[in-house]
């Protein structure tokens, strides 16, 4: 039998040639390499934003009308470079300007009124001093006349007493005694009249002084009121200036007019109506909106990213490298805002401008292919379970 199958045996021996062994060896090495890559290699996992855009570092400032009014002047055009405080649009403020002129005219007249009142106070003060000096002189004169009358009265009374004694002894006629008594009574009445005159002069002088003092105090009160009116007028003028300033729409910051509403001269605008937008100059930042469930806890400050601009195909212009600079902590409109800082790398042919749209890919982690496939399978299984769970739930009676 061995002789009969000798050729078959030689053919089988030729099938185990070096070429076959080499192929099996290469296949085994390839399988081992693939298993090593599948189990130990690291691949980068990216999260892609639903929408992204370029923005300047400073937020764009809207140009808003603070008050309602008619446009009477407009000195702004789309793309114009402006500085902070430049006048862009002027609204009609005619009534406020008239009130301002009226208040300024009234305020200018008040210092003259105060000066006239102060001059009148000076005159009344001098009159009061003159009355006091005149009262002193009259008082001295009345005192002197009173002392003179008192001396004459004392002499008359003494003379009357002597004549009365002599008349009692018959040495002097009775008529002389009566005449001396009458003279003494006359001098007494004169003294009383002088005392009354002195008191009247003192009272009249004090009355005039009090009247002048009351006038002075009244004038001083008027001066205080006028000074208060001056301060009130200054406040009113300041308020009117603020009202007029509200009718002047100025650039809120330096930059370029990026948006301009079509309001011609003569058009009426409402308070709070947006007239345009000023885009500040400076560096750029990238802003992306992500699905919160996919990136919360994964995107961290410092992670690398890349942005593909819609208007510049990445196959021709490449991508813009960046790093995560800020991550929002609150969700808005079911999206999470993430900000990026562009890397200082020159991008050929791309002119960065505010508002350029695109997409951003963020490197969130590095995983092995095996772990990535297991995670994907787990997510698919979880999604299937979530879909089947409502159908498997038994309604309660």
pLDDT of residue 173: 59
Residue scoring higher pLDDT (293 or 3)? 293
Residues 6+ apart with CB under 8 A from 198: 139, 142, 143, 146
pLDDT band at 159 (very low <50, low <70, confident <90, very high): low
pLDDT of residue 389: 64
- Asked whether the predicted pLDDT for residue 88 surpasses 70, the reply is yes
Residue scoring higher pLDDT (29 or 20)? 29
Task: Using alpha carbons, select from 366, 360, 349, 363 the residue that is nearest to residue 306.
Answer: 360
Note the helical H segments in the chain: 6-15, 18-40, 94-169, 174-246, 292-295, 314-317, 369-392
Facing residues of 149 across strands? none
* Percentage, residues of the chain above pLDDT 90: 12
Of 38-42, 282-286, 346-350, the least confident: 346-350
Task: Using alpha carbons, select from 331, 281, 267, 315 the residue that is nearest to residue 92.
Answer: 267
pLDDT band at 313 (very low <50, low <70, confident <90, very high): confident
pLDDT of residue 81: 87
pLDDT of residue 187: 64
Angle formed at CA 252 by CA 286 and CA 356, multiple of 5 degrees: 25
In the three-class reduction of DSSP (H, G, I as helix; E, B as strand; rest coil), residue 346 is classed as: coil
Pair 368, 38: CB distance under 8 Å: yes
Pair 27, 34: CB distance under 8 Å: no
Facing residues of 307 across strands? 320, 360
Q: Delineate the domains of the chain, giving CATH numbers in brackets.
A: 39-57+282-377 (2.40.30.170), 61-92+248-276 (2.40.50.100), 95-246 (1.10.287)
pLDDT mean across residues, the chain: 79
Highest mean pLDDT among 9-18, 21-30, 51-60, 377-386 belongs to: 21-30
Task: Using alpha carbons, select from 24, 120, 151, 50 the residue that is nearest to residue 358.
Answer: 50
Average pLDDT over residues 308-314: 83
Phi, psi (degrees; rounded to nearest 5) at 169: -90, -5
pLDDT of residue 1: 47
- Rounded to the nearest 10 degrees, what angle do helices 174-246 and 94-169 cross at? 170
Of 35-39, 106-110, 309-313, 382-386, the least confident: 382-386
Task: Using alpha carbons, select from 183, 125, 120 the residue that is nearest to residue 154.
Answer: 183
For 323-382, what is each residue's pLDDT tens digit?
A: 888 888 888 888 888 988 888 765 556 777 777 888 898 887 777 777 778 777 777 777
Highest mean pLDDT among 172-186, 217-231, 343-357, 362-376 belongs to: 217-231
For 139-155, what is each residue's pLDDT tens digit?
A: 677 666 767 666 666 76
pLDDT of residue 16: 54
Count CB atoms within 10 A of the CB of residue 190.
16
Which residue has tokens 């308070």? 271
Which residue has tokens 């790093």? 323
pLDDT of residue 92: 92
Cβ burial, residue 48 (10 Å; 0-12/13-18/19+): middle
- Asked whether the predicted pLDDT for residue 391 surpasses 60, the reply is no
Tell me how far apart the alpha carbons of residues 305 and 171 are, in angstroms, rounded to a whole number.
Answer: 150
> How is the chain split among helix, strand and coil, in percent rounded to 5?
55, 20, 25
Average pLDDT over residues 126-140: 74
Count CB atoms within 10 A of the CB of residue 153.
20
Ramachandran quadrant class, 84 (left: phi over 0; alpha: psi -120 to 50; beta: rest) = beta
Tell me how far apart the alpha carbons of residues 319 and 304 are, in angstroms, rounded to a whole number.
Answer: 13
């Amino acid at each position: 039998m061995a002789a009969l199958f000798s050729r078959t045996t030689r053919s089988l021996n030729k099938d185990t040639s070096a070429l076959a062994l080499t192929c099996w060896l290469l296949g085994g090495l390839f399988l081992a390499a693939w298993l090593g890559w599948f189990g130990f290699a690291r691949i980068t996992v990216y999260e892609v934003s639903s929408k992204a855009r370029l923005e300047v570092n400073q937020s764009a400032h809207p140009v808003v009308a603070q008050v309602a009014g008619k446009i009477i002047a407009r000195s702004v055009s789309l793309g114009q470079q402006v500085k902070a405080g430049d006048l862009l649009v002027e609204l009609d403020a005619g009534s406020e300007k008239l009130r301002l002129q009226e208040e300024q005219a009234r305020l200018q007249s008040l210092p003259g009124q105060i000066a006239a009142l102060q001059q009148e106070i000076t005159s009344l003060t001098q009159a009061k001093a003159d009355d006091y000096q005149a009262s002193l002189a009259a008082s001295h004169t009345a005192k002197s006349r009173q002392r003179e009358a008192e001396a004459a009265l004392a002499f008359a009374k003494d003379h009357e007493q002597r004549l009365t004694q002599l008349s009692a002894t018959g040495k002097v006629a009775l008529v002389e005694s009566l005449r001396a008594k009458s003279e003494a009574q006359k001098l007494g009445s004169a003294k009383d009249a002088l005392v009354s005159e002195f008191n009247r002069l003192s009272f009249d002088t004090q009355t005039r002084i009090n009247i002048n003092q009351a006038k002075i105090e009244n004038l001083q009160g008027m001066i205080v009121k006028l000074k208060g009116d001056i301060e009130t007028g200054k406040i009113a003028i300041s308020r009117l200036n603020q009202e007029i300033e509200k009718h002047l729409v100025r650039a809120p910051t330096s930059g370029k007019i990026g948006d301009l509403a079509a309001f011609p001269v003569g058009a009426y605008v409402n308070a709070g109506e947006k007239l345009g937008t000023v885009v500040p100059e400076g560096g750029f930042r990238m802003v992306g909106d992500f699905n919160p469930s996919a990136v919360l806890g994964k995107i961290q400050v410092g992670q690398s990213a890349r942005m593909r601009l819609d208007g510049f195909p990445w196959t021709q212009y490449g991508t813009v490298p960046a790093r995560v600079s800020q991550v929002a902590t609150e969700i808005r409109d079911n999206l999470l805002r993430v900000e990026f800082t562009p890397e200082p790398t020159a991008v050929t042919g791309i002119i960065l401008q505010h508002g350029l749209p695109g997409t951003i890919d963020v490197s969130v982690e590095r995983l092995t292919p095996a772990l990535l496939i297991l995670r994907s399978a787990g997510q698919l299984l979880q999604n299937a379970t979530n879909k089947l769970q409502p159908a498997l739930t038994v309604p309660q009676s």
